[in-house]
Chains A and B, each alone.
Chain A
């Protein structure tokens, strides 16, 4: 199973809210291979974001096994989790989650800082990543000096700067207008063509059709798992 990047087996995520426990994810089992382009769809409350956070090592399953690149995540120490978030996973959020007081350049450098890269290399790497998303000339701008589409592209550059094996995107076009959204999805296509593995969460079926495989969630369970016709 060398090609399997993500392997979830009988994963549950339960929250204790008051008297009744709430199951956000019920018995989820699925695999994702290298260079797949997967869309996870479902209505509000179906558990899409929860699943994303789990895959992205931002949260831990209540029950079940999650293997990332063959390693059992529940056995990873805090430092190893941080390392995974730094090197193996690139996260793109719906609300961009950029540091507003830093320039685009410094925002993209951030994962490299935590990876211990020396300054000179870091600056070059980050500049390259911004070039790749078409923002080479906006490196010294702050997020509040940019449009939504530009901010999302900075977030994508940041997610990719450490060359992770997986790109996770939670509603990447949710805060963007249609035109800009299309540009971002075009960028994702390019990234996929370049060999990246992409997992996308969306409630928008149009967006989901860009992916090669669609997984539908309903009430925390996998409803369907189909390959998109292209």
Chain B
């Protein structure tokens, strides 16, 4: 019997009972949908994180009071223990570190930006030193960033994010005009390129002022971020160690105590993120494997039932010349087709879910292209594995016994 004929026979057998076929493959379909959907969401989040982290170039690390927190216990401990970072720390690093190229300080504070009667609240106001500004991947849409003179001499100038300009200067050129921050006037010298929003958060809702100006207005309380650029990106690890050494000395930390500050690097962030998603991914794969095994057992049982119901049919086929392997192939093909259809259905459903989530929520889910191929391959393997036993039973029926069976 030709393969195409065998597949034909199997396919039409499945069509004979469409409801049963559908219910059988449902289990497999759902398992496949679940895993692909989880992967889609992870892929989307990966993109978001990579995009956000790309603000931090590979050559740059940020020294921070807290760093990347791994769990609530660590956070509580950090709250109690960690010391504020000061501009003096930055100065120390600048003087002592040999592997460091540039050191900048910055701080963030929430606040409002006002112009006349218009107000924007909840703005991310960033105070940046000249060096920190240089290390930022900023794209200027209009005007310029602060000059070194402005930066050093606490000038009242500001560089605005797109959202602020959009809301306060709808049809006017903002350059040269004034806005009010913390009750004081600031002259707008530049506007940033629009960056859009990711994950529902706008990335254009900020206003930058010189760090020296912030010090003058608010004083030196509170922790700063220290941005550090390595002289040689190949020696990043050494550079980080050197900075860590300097900071630990300044904090008089004994050698057996943990750091009481944090160091954030692009690589570190990505590794942390990946370790999180790896865990989620592994759990998802485990759960799906179980569902595939269950689905496979369901299919095996359905096929065994089908063999019993179709005993007479098998007898007739053998009486007209079907060999054992022809019958084996027919039933195996049915099982594989059932599973593969389940897999394909699961892929389609997952695509629909991913699209739905991406459209209706801020979650940037992304459908992985390798998913359909893997799904069909794995489900086909499940079909072969669980379909073999019933197919063998069918193939080994003696024609004369099979023919004697009453129609069920």
Enumerate chain A interface residues (CB-CB to B < 8 A). Answer: 53, 56, 58-59, 78-79, 82-83, 85-87, 91, 93, 97-99, 101, 110-111, 113-116, 118-119, 158, 162
| Interface CB pairs A-B, < 8 A, 5 | A53-B400, A79-B324, A91-B320, A114-B320, A116-B2
1/0 per residue, CB under 8 A from A, across B359-373: the answer is 000000000000000
Q: Is B357 an interface residue (CB 8 A)?
A: no
Contact across chains for A97 and B321 when beta carbons are under 8 A apart: no
Pick from B1, B324, B398: contact of A113, CB below 8 A.
B1
CA distance A97 to B12 in the complex (A): 19
Question: What is the distance, in angstroms, from A155's C-beta to the closest C-beta of chain B?
Answer: 10
Let me know if A114 and B403 touch, CB within 8 A.
Answer: no
Say yes or no: is B313 at the interface (Cβ < 8 Å to chain A).
Answer: yes
Taking the closest CB of chain B, its distance from the CB of A15, in whole angstroms, is: 12
**Residue B83 lies at the interface, judged by CB distance under 8 Å to chain A:** no
A79 to B2 alpha-carbon distance, docked (Å): 15
Q: Which residues of B contact A114 (CB under 8 A)?
A: 1, 317, 320-323, 326
Contact pattern, B 304-342, Cβ under 8 Å of A = 1, otherwise 0: 000000001101111111111110000000000000000
The verdict on A82 contacting B403 (CB below 8 Å), with A97-B316, A110-B317, A113-B5 known, is no
The answer to whether B320 and A111 touch across the interface, beta carbons within 8 angstroms, is yes
Q: Is the CB of B399 within 8 A of A58?
A: yes
Checking A79, A118, A119 against B323 with a beta-carbon cut-off of 8 angstroms, the contacting residue is: A79
Besides A58-B319, A98-B316, A119-B5, 4 other A-B contacts (C-beta < 8 A): A85-B318, A86-B320, A114-B323, A116-B2
For the complex formed, measure the closest distance between the CB of A45 and the CB atoms of chain B, giving whole angstroms. 15
How many inter-chain residue pairs (CB < 8 Å) link A and B? Answer: 65
State A180–B215 Cα separation when bound (angstroms). 112
CB-nearest residue of chain A relative to B323?
A: A82
Please give the distance in Å from B322's CB to the nearest CB on chain A.
5
Q: Which of B2, B398, B400 has the most chain A CB atoms inside 10 A of its CB? A: B400
The listed residue (A58, A116, A119) touching B403 by CB distance below 8 A is A58
A13 to chain B, nearest CB (A): 11
- A97 CB contact (under 8 Å) in B16, B322, B326, B403: B403
- Residues from chain A with Cβ under 8 Å of B316 in the complex: 97-99
B1 and chain A: residue at smallest CB distance: A114
The reply to whether A110 and B323 form a contact with Cβ atoms under 8 Å apart is no
Partner of A99, one of B313, B323, B325, B399: B313
Residues in chain A near residue B398, CB distance under 8 A = 59
Give every chain A residue within 8 A of B320 (Cβ-Cβ). Answer: 85-86, 91, 110-111, 114, 158
Tell me if B319 and A85 are in contact (CB < 8 A).
yes
Please encode chain B, from 367 to 397, with 1 for each CB lying within 8 Å of some chain A CB and 0 for all others.
0000000000000000000000000000000
Chain A residues near B400 (CB-CB < 8 A): 53, 58-59
**Cβ 8 A contact of B321, one of A99, A115, A118:** A115
A78 to B315 CA separation, bound complex (whole angstroms): 14
Chain A residues with CB under 8 A of B399 = 58-59, 85
| Complex partner residue of B322 from A82, A118, A158, CB under 8 angstroms | A82
Cβ-defined partner of B318 (8 Å) among A82, A118, A162: A82
Nearest Cβ on chain B to A114's Cβ, whole angstroms: 4
Q: How far is the CB of A94 from chain B (nearest CB, A)?
A: 11
Residues of chain A with a CB closer than 8 A to B318's CB: 82, 85
Nearest-neighbour CB distance to chain A for B1, whole angstroms, equals 5
